[in-house]
Amino acid sequence: MGHPRNGNWGSWGVRLFQLAALVVPVNGAVIEASNASFVDLLAENEVVITMFYRSWCGHCKRLKPEYHRAAERLAATKSKVLLVQTQDDALFKQYEIKMVPSLWVFANGKQLYQHYAWEFDDVYDFAWSFDALHLPVGFIYRHYLRLRSLYRFGLKAALKAMKLRADHPLQLYLPHVLAPALVGSVLVIVAPIALLLYESAKKARKAEDKEKKS
């Protein structure tokens, strides 16, 4: 690459543009990540939710506006959660992404788990919980949202296969009523167990710390 002092401003200009493109937000709040920029994004942000997508994917096209709207709302509240999207083949390979869209949660630089999203609140409510709720409540609530979104996605897909019109009562109400009810009933059983395990682990950590100090 030439140096500006040698008069080769063109190549430097292209390089600067490429570097800027790595971190320029898309639609104001969502960042289009590349393989080169992703490591820095993970290092600089406590929680990163990444949507792996393809331009030809129909559900990706339907989800993107909802995803971007959630990102704008989070940015307005100065959330610690960053929403990212990528089509980078190297990232697909590195994180073994097999389907699109795939939303993955990264915290403190580590890949944690996949989230499922059908619409705005599937993304926003989930991300908001990292700002507003602490362990163990936040953990339980996030997994409730994951299950709710997964059930909703399945119900929407089933209703679509039935070829019901968009304004059919089942289309309007079933995913928003049945999905939370089903998942809520599961959590009534699971939540107390999760709380007991959390408290047990916390006591074990305190005992280990006390033993190390002594």
Q: Mean pLDDT of successive 10-residue segments in the chain (214 residues)?
A: 43 41 53 95 96 94 94 92 96 95 95 90 92 81 82 74 74 64 60 61 72 72
CA-closest candidate to residue 145, choices 171, 186, 180, 176? 180
| Same-domain check for residues 50 and 127 | yes
| Same-domain check for residues 145 and 128 | no
Chosen domain end from 89, 114, 132: 132
CATH of the domain at 44: 3.40.30.10
The C-alpha atoms of residue 151 and residue 129 are separated, in whole angstroms, by: 19
The C-alpha atoms of residue 123 and residue 104 are separated, in whole angstroms, by: 11
Residue range(s) defining the domain that contains residue 92: 23-132
Q: How many domains does the chain have?
A: 2
10 domain-assigned: no
Say if pTM beats, i.e. exceeds, 0.85: no
